[in-house]
Chain A
Amino acid sequence: KAGVTQTPRYLIKTRGQQVTLSCSPISGHRSVSWYQQTPGQGLQFLFEYFSETQRNKGNFPGRFSGRQFSNSRSEMNVSTLELGDSALYLCASSLDSGGRAFFGQGTRLTVV
């Protein structure tokens, strides 16, 4: 069965722009979580969506937002990009919250 798919894989944006990243979970998985990872750092939790509802939220500013659609696909949006937003953004899906997470390959965002 297909894994977690994230698009795009690479993205270069300018400060002040906004960006939307997409994540298609494994079929049947209802939970989708988003993480930010900068070089040499651990996973910083952004938010989790479960059955189209935001279930958990990390400590990121309101510029970071997300949503989940009825088919469980999820998007995250970052508005007014800052240089510090340059990172690898990882999406993970699981059957339920707290279950084994399956990660996509990530979107590497560079803000210049």
Chain B
Amino acid sequence: GQNIDQPTEMTATEGAIVQINCTYQTSGFNGLFWYQQHAGEAPTFLSYNVLDGLEEKGRFSSFLSRSKGYSYLLLKELQMKDSASYLCAVSATDSNYQLIWGAGTKLIIKP
């Protein structure tokens, strides 16, 4: 079956860099998404990886290694507003393309 693992909680300092990891086990990988969710709000799309390598978008970057079943989200120059949960989701043929979601990583930014 499918499984996605992320750390439950991480703490970082304003202005610093943080890396949130996501590992997955699935067959027929079709893409990996990262979403940000502030408390009480809906998740919003951050990034999409389908090929190995790094995708950079401003302060946020996402990396994928399909052979290792591994991705990370890198957040640079952290701001207080980055305090949120970060969700990793995978699409695969063995889930009939249904997105399988990790439980999310709660990121706490301290001044």
Contacts and interface: CB of A to CB of B under 8 A. Distances in A.
A32 interface: no
Contacts, number: 54
A101 B43 CA distance: 9
Given A90-B43, A101-B43, A101-B89, 18 more contacts: A42-B104, A43-B87, A45-B98, A45-B100, A48-B98, A55-B96, A56-B96, A56-B98, A88-B40, A90-B42, A97-B96, A97-B98, A98-B31, A98-B91, A99-B91, A100-B33, A101-B99, A103-B44
Nearest to A88: B40
Interface of B: 30-31, 33, 35, 40-45, 48, 87, 89, 91-92, 95-104
Contacts of B97: 96-98
Contacts of B48: 100
* Nearest 5 Cβ contacts at the A-B interface: A98-B97, A98-B91, A42-B103, A103-B42, A97-B97
A52 B90 CA distance: 24
Contacts of A70: none
B101 A43 contact: yes
Q: What secondary structure prevails in chain A residues at the interface with B?
A: loop
A98 B99 contact: yes
Contacts of B96: 55-56, 97
A104 interface: yes
Given A97-B97, A98-B91, A100-B45, A42 B30 contact: no
Contacts of A33: 98-99
A106 B39 CA distance: 12
Given A98-B31, A100-B33, A45 B44 contact: no
A65 interface: no
